[in-house]
Structure 1
Amino acid sequence: MDEHEPGTPPPGPGGSPPLVAVVGATATGKSALAISLARRLDGEIVNADALQLYRGMDIGTAKVSVREREGITHHLLDVLDVTEEASVSAFQRAARTAVGEIRGRGRTPILVGGSGLYVRAALDRIEFPPTDPATRRRLEERAEREGTAVLHRELARTDPEAARTIGEHDTRRVVRALEVGELTGRPFTAFLPRPDYEDPSTVQIGLRLERAVLHERIALRVRSMVEQGLLEEVRTLRALGLDRGATARRAIGYEQGLAVLDGTLSCSDAMESTIVGTRRLVRKQDTWFRRDERVHWLDAEPDAASPLLQRALDRFEAAVTAPGRSWT
C-alpha cells in the first residue's frame, strides 16, 4: 500500500477511506473513542445503537449530547418518534447511504454502536426477507390454537436446519421462520447474517472490560441517569406516545420508568431492575460480538503507557496495511 500522511486514514478501494466500526458492550466507552477517532481520521460518525435512533430517548440511552460530540457530525441519531418501530432493513439502507455520503466528502465513516444485528446489517452482505402481516397473523393464530410445538414439527419438515436452531417453544421465531419459508420458498437460515463484509475495507475495533469493572460502571451509569432526570424524560416521552411504541417502551430503563410512574415499582426497585437488565444485555452483546473473529479487541481500561486512542489507531493502521489484505 502506498505511503500516506500520519494521522490520515490509508485509502480503501478506489482510494476512498476505510469504513471503521467501534463495537462492544454497553458502558465500555465506544462513543468517546469514536469521537476521538473521528477527530484524528477526519471522520463522521454513524450511529448503530437501535435505541438512539429515537428522538427524546437521550438520558436512558446515554446518547452523546451536542457538546460531547465536539463538533463531529453524527448521523442516524433522533430519526424516529417513540411510536415508530425500528426496522433493521430500513437502518441498513440509511446507514449505507450515510457511509457513501461521508466518503463522497472525502471523509472517514465511523460506525459506532452495541446493537449487534444493526452493526452486522450495516457491515455485512445481509438480505432481509419480506414480511406479510396476514401470513404472520394466520401462523400466530395457529400457534395459539394448535400449540407452538405443532408448528415447530412443521418447520422441522420444511426447514430442518432452522428447526435445529430454534427452540420448540420460541413462538416468535418459529412463526417468523415459517413466514419466511411461505413468502420466499427459501429456508430461513439463508437469510441469517454471515461474516462477509459488504465493503472489504472495513475494520472493526472492539472494546472490552473486565466483567466486575463493567458491572460497577453500569451501576454508576444507572444512578447518574436517575440523577440527570431519567424519570422526567420518561414522563415527557409518555406524553408523546411512549406507551404505544412497540420497541421504545420495552427499552431497559424506560420500561422501569413507566412502571414507577404507574406506581407498580418503587424508584429503588426500578434502578435495581435496570442494572440487572443492563447486565443481562451486556452478556448478550458480549456473546454476539465475540463470535465475530474479525473484531480487533482492545482493553478499554486506562493504560498510562499507551492511551486507548493510540492503541486504537495502531490497531487500525495494522489492519488496513496487513499483507494480503483484500480491497476488492
Structure 2
Amino acid sequence: MNGAHPPVILLAGPTASGKTSLSIALAKTVDGEIINADSMQLYADLQIVSARPDAGEQAGIPHHLFGVCDAAERSSTGWWVREALDRISEIRARGRRPILVGGTGLYFEALTQGLAAMPEISSETRARADAIAAAGDEKLRETARRFDPDATARVEANDLQRIRRIVEIGLQTGQPISAFQAKTTPLLSPGDWTGFVVDIDRAELYRRIEQRFDRMIDAGAIDEVRALAARKLDSALPAMKAIGVPPLVAAISGELSTDDAIAQAKQDSRRYAKRQLTWFRNRMTGRPRLTFQDGQIDIDIVISRLGDGS
C-alpha cells in the first residue's frame, strides 16, 4: 500500500459494543468509507440477525462488503482479504480514508500479520474429513485438537468451517496448520494502518446484547430466519450457524418455544462476546483501547489518537 496515504483505520470490538455508530461518526469526521470486517454481516440473508447497518445508518457514508454473499456460499478469510484490499485501493484512489470495522479477529489478523499459503486439499482428504464431520461436531473438534491443539483453541466454538480446515490440513500433510500460518507476510505494512479496540464492561455489554436482540425480534428477526429456513440449506453453512439462527430455526420448527429460543440466542450471543473479548485481549495487544463513558465513545479521543492531522 502507498505510504503517501494516511493509515487505514482498523476498528475492532465485540458484538453490540457500539462499533457501527462509532465508525459512522468517524467516517463523517475523516472523510472515510466503511469496509465490513464481520464474517456474518457479509451475508445478504442476515440483515437483522447480524445487526448489519440499515439504510438509514448507511445514508451518506459509502459502505462496502455488507450483504454481498448468499447464505448458500462459504466465504473465507482469504476471499475477504482480497476483497478488502481491493476496496482499500479504490477508496484511497478517491482521496478518501478506509475504515474497517467489525468483530472478526481473524480478518484483522490476516491483514496485519499475513495470510498463509495453504496446500491444496485432495478429494480423498475431503472425503475423510466428511466422514469425521458426519460423526458429529465434537468428533471434528477432537480430531482438530489432535492435529493442532493451539490453533483449535483459538477458533470460535461455533466456527466449524475453520475447525474442519485444521482437520483437512492435518489429514493432507500430517502437519499442524500453525506451521503454515507461521510463514506469513503482513498485507498492510506496520506504518500503513492504525488500530483501535473497543473495550466495554462485560455487564454493560451483556445488557446491550439483550436489549439489541429484543430490538431484532421487534424488527422482524423471526420472519428473516423463517425465510432463510425455507431455503433448506445445509445446516453446517456459516450463515446457518450465525448467532441467533439455530435457536430461531428450532422455534420455527416447533422444537423450542419462542421465549426459549430468544433466551438461547441471547445466551449464545453473550458467550460469543466473551470469546471476542478474550481474543482482543490476547491477540490485539498494544492497540489503543476505546472505553465507554456514559454509554458512548468520545469521537474526539479517537481523532486525537490518530495523530496524523485528521
Secondary structure of 2:197's match?
strand
Letter in 2 for 1:296: P
Change in 2 beyond 3 A, CA 1:224/1:197: same
Structure 2 residue aligned with 1:286: 277
- Residue 212 (str. 1) matches residue 211 (str. 2): no
Out of 31, 38, 57, the position equivalent to 2:46 is 57
Structure 2 residue aligned with 1:229: 220
Structure 1 residue aligned with 2:18: 29
Structure 2 residue aligned with 1:299: 291
Please give the per-residue CA displacement for 1:55-97, whole angstroms capped at 9, x wherever unaligned. 1311111111111113110110111111111211111111111
Please give the per-residue CA displacement for 1:92-132, whole angstroms capped at 9, x wherever unaligned. 11111111111111111100000111222233312241434
Change in 2 beyond 3 A, CA 1:187/1:111: same
Change in 2 beyond 3 A, CA 1:221/1:128: farther
Secondary structure of 2:3's match?
helix
- Residue 103 (str. 1) matches residue 95 (str. 2): no
Secondary structure of 1:50's match?
coil
Structure 2 residue aligned with 1:3: none
Secondary structure of 1:20's match?
strand
Structure 2 residue aligned with 1:15: 4
Structure 2 residue aligned with 1:276: 267
Pairwise mapping of residues 308-327 of structure 1 onto structure 2 (< 5 A)? 308-317=298-307
Kept in 2: contact 1:151–1:174 (CA 8 A): no
User: How far off its partner does 1:177 sit?
Assistant: 4.2
Q: How far apart are the structure 1 equivalents of 2:146 and 2:278?
A: 30
User: How far off its partner does 1:293 sit?
Assistant: 1.2
Letter in 2 for 1:310: D
Letter in 2 for 1:71: G
Kept in 2: contact 1:17–1:106 (CA 8 A): no
User: How far off its partner does 1:134 sit?
Assistant: 2.6
Secondary structure of 2:267's match?
helix
Q: How far apart are the structure 2 equivalents of 1:311 and 1:260?
A: 44
Letter in 2 for 1:28: S
Change in 2 beyond 3 A, CA 1:316/1:264: same
Change in 2 beyond 3 A, CA 1:300/1:90: same
Kept in 1: contact 2:34–2:99 (CA 8 A): yes
RMSD over equivalenced CA pairs, Å: 3.2
Letter in 1 for 2:270: R
What percent of counterpart residues are identical? Answer: 34
Structure 2 residue aligned with 1:191: 180
Letter in 1 for 2:285: E
Pairwise mapping of residues 148-167 of structure 1 onto structure 2 (< 5 A)? 155=147, 162=148, 166=152
User: Could you tell me the TM-score, scaled by structure 1's length?
Assistant: 0.79
Please give the per-residue CA displacement for 1:298-319, whole angstroms capped at 9, x wherever unaligned. 1023389xx61111111222xx
Q: How far apart are the structure 1 equivalents of 2:174 and 2:37?
A: 31
Change in 2 beyond 3 A, CA 1:241/1:301: farther
Structure 2 residue aligned with 1:41: 30
Q: In the comparison of the two structures, how many residue pairs are matched? A: 296
Letter in 2 for 1:302: D
Out of 104, 109, 113, the position equivalent to 1:120 is 109
Structure 1 residue aligned with 2:127: 137
Q: How far apart are the structure 2 equivalents of 1:220 and 1:44?
A: 28
Name structure 1 gaps, 5 residues minimum: 1-11, 156-161, 322-328
Kept in 2: contact 1:51–1:251 (CA 8 A): yes
- Report which of the two structures shows the higher radius of gyration computed on alpha carbons: 1
Q: How far apart are the structure 1 equivalents of 2:163 and 2:303?
A: 43
Kept in 2: contact 1:25–1:207 (CA 8 A): yes
Secondary structure of 1:22's match?
strand
Name structure 2 gaps, 5 residues minimum: none
Letter in 1 for 2:204: V
User: Could you tell me the TM-score, scaled by structure 2's length?
Assistant: 0.83
Structure 2 residue aligned with 1:257: 248
Letter in 2 for 1:136: R
Q: How far apart are the structure 1 equivalents of 2:5 and 2:224?
A: 41
